[in-house]
Structure 1
């Protein structure tokens, strides 16, 4: 049965007023990426983009170049992060521009990244920059904003239902009430939504599945499912004793891949699998503890992706998604886009697995 590969996409890489205010005029995450330095022996930093360069996502040429590359290597579509704070939109311009441009053909879906924003990158964990407030009026306004996207023929669907993801349903005071409001509005417009919840941090497992969600999405590597307990004891013990995080968490990627390959087949509820090419947020935390994988290579990623691709059994003809985190999380060292070290190596592994299993 056919499987659709969905790459999570961060539409961050262009200047906008909030970044100017919070981080300095002209800031994008390219600034964090370019100034990163190795923090331990053989630490792979900085990650410097290759084929697509330090792009600006306001430019149509940049967005089309991303889509062309994704299609060339077997990516079915992008899952764009969406940022909405009671009508205040952030990082919306690339996706709004795509909606208006029929030549940007790659299928897509949206994921509402519904967390509050804090000054984490500068050490101000208690300083809130912008926060969410949930209410029915906002649910209605939010749906009305989405409606042109849901009606777009490029929007990814399951049995005619637009797929909409939410990053942290647990943050809602009443998630099911919000979804019911959205479904009522969708019904008035002649369709229903297919709701997915991301499983990040400790919010994974059947007990965290909302009644109104159709499926879950495993979110790698945040959903570690016990890995931390086995491989991150020193940071955990220090945090417990001091209530502070002092030590960085540096994990061997090969061991993490082995951990994933050894997991039991997942059958308890509908959950789409995911994989990640790497992880390293050191560029966002220059003088703070950070977390990263070391020695993440295309070959190891290819082993993991091949295992998921071969073992995942779609739930139906169109419930067939495999997610990859991420297409372009450069400041988290987590990107399929080519860099100077590995080139298109991670993308080539995806294409190879697909070709071998068609």
Structure 2
């Protein structure tokens, strides 16, 4: 009798250890992206970059391969952007100064005479070559850094400079590599000096790719107003490639809740209609995201689902042909990317 009880007990234990069969349908990424209706216009910014016209570029721009800061091309770009509901271009502003940046901004201001678009700056501190052992303070450049923002005042005074809640928008390129001895103090002094002369700042930290938010939070908390990830497409993980909209959705949901709950920091979605890393690096092992309307539709709706208080979506990019992320019309796809963007971000 004891033998029979032992057999029955063993059978019950084995049965309790068995699990239901797991299928692809059970995967956390296996869900459809749903459309988020446009009940109110979204604020749409687009990165505007310099181009080197890599020989590997296969797409043919409808505006031709124009020189950087070309005014004829700039005028056409402004008209196209306005037709797509883009609210502003984001231009690089380097410290120390880079001539092509100023030329690009000047071209825009000259050709935007009808005030169709706004503009804002992407602050580029990369030329400083900051490191953890060669910080802003150690280079003796803190006062120069603050002065470089004061040098923006003539641009801030332009009626078309982009603002959020009356604050002047400036994004910080590679904000997670802005090495300072006391980063919070540097940003605090910057804000105080600018506010004292009437210019409150809305600072957005650009991070090149998504990481768990705690990894770089010390570069953002008590320093910035928002964070965005300018590139979530350049990756070599097949699951992220196959389910990219779903992956971004889960990443952004987590980041949005984390940043907002811990420091009141806004998470701003940045998306692109496609990407081809092999244009710049033919040996790249990263995946190509083809320009397909279903993908761009999905990624825009993921952005809308995870929108922050300022209702801002950033597009990377308007004209980066070296990575095929451009919204700018091309021969093979016409203005389809621009048309889809407007339909998904503007009420009319």
Structure 2 length normalisation: TM-score? 0.73
Secondary structure in structure 2 of the residue aligned to 1:82: strand
Give the 5 Å matches for 1:103-252: 103=113, 105=115, 106-116=117-127, 135-174=141-180, 175-201=183-209, 205-206=213-214, 207-208=217-218, 209-221=220-232, 230-231=237-238, 252=241
Kindly tell me: are residues 289 and 161 of structure 1, through their superposed partners in 2, closer, same or farther at Cα, counting changes over 3 Å?
same
The question of whether the paired residues in 2 share the 8 Å contact of 1:3 and 1:314 is answered with: no
Alpha-carbon distance in 1 for matches of 2:311, 2:328? 23
Alpha-carbon distance in 2 for matches of 1:204, 1:160? 31
Residue deviations 1:106-157, cap 9 Å, x none?
A: 1011112333599xxxxxxxxxxxxx96722321331232111122111111
Give the CA deviation at 1:75.
0.9
The question of whether the paired residues in 2 share the 8 Å contact of 1:5 and 1:321 is answered with: yes
Q: 1:296 aligns with which of 274, 291, 294?
A: 291
The question of whether the paired residues in 2 share the 8 Å contact of 1:200 and 1:218 is answered with: yes
Alpha-carbon distance in 1 for matches of 2:252, 2:317? 24
Give the 5 Å matches for 1:1-358: 1-10=40-49, 12-13=50-51, 29-30=52-53, 32=54, 35-36=55-56, 46-50=58-62, 52-85=63-96, 87-99=97-109, 103=113, 105=115, 106-116=117-127, 135-174=141-180, 175-201=183-209, 205-206=213-214, 207-208=217-218, 209-221=220-232, 230-231=237-238, 252=241, 255-261=243-249, 265=253, 266-268=256-258, 269=260, 270-286=266-282, 288-289=283-284, 291-309=286-304, 311-315=305-309, 319-355=310-346
Structure 1 length normalisation: TM-score? 0.71
The question of whether the paired residues in 1 share the 8 Å contact of 2:209 and 2:231 is answered with: no
Residue deviations 1:59-99, cap 9 Å, x none?
A: 322212111100101111111122223x4544321103334
Q: What is the aligned partner in structure 1 of residue 12 from structure 2?
A: none
The question of whether the paired residues in 2 share the 8 Å contact of 1:3 and 1:320 is answered with: yes
Alpha-carbon distance in 1 for matches of 2:333, 2:47? 20
Secondary structure in structure 2 of the residue aligned to 1:74: coil
Secondary structure in structure 1 of the residue aligned to 2:227: strand
Higher relative contact order (CA 8 A, sep 6+): 2
The answer to which structure has the higher strand fraction is 1
What RMSD, in angstroms, separates the aligned Cα atoms of the two structures? 2.9
Give the CA deviation at 1:263.
5.1
Gaps of 5+ in 2: 1-39, 130-137, 261-265
The question of whether the paired residues in 1 share the 8 Å contact of 2:44 and 2:313 is answered with: yes
Q: What is the aligned partner in structure 1 of residue 37 from structure 2?
A: none
Give the CA deviation at 1:306.
2.8
Q: How many residues align?
A: 287
The question of whether the paired residues in 2 share the 8 Å contact of 1:221 and 1:279 is answered with: no
Q: Which moved more, 1:257-266 or 1:102-111?
A: 257-266
Residue deviations 1:173-231, cap 9 Å, x none?
A: 32333322321331232121111101223665153423110111232326x8xx75x53
Kindly tell me: are residues 167 and 73 of structure 1, through their superposed partners in 2, closer, same or farther at Cα, counting changes over 3 Å?
same
The question of whether the paired residues in 2 share the 8 Å contact of 1:110 and 1:165 is answered with: yes
Larger Rg: 1 or 2? 2
Give the CA deviation at 1:168.
1.5
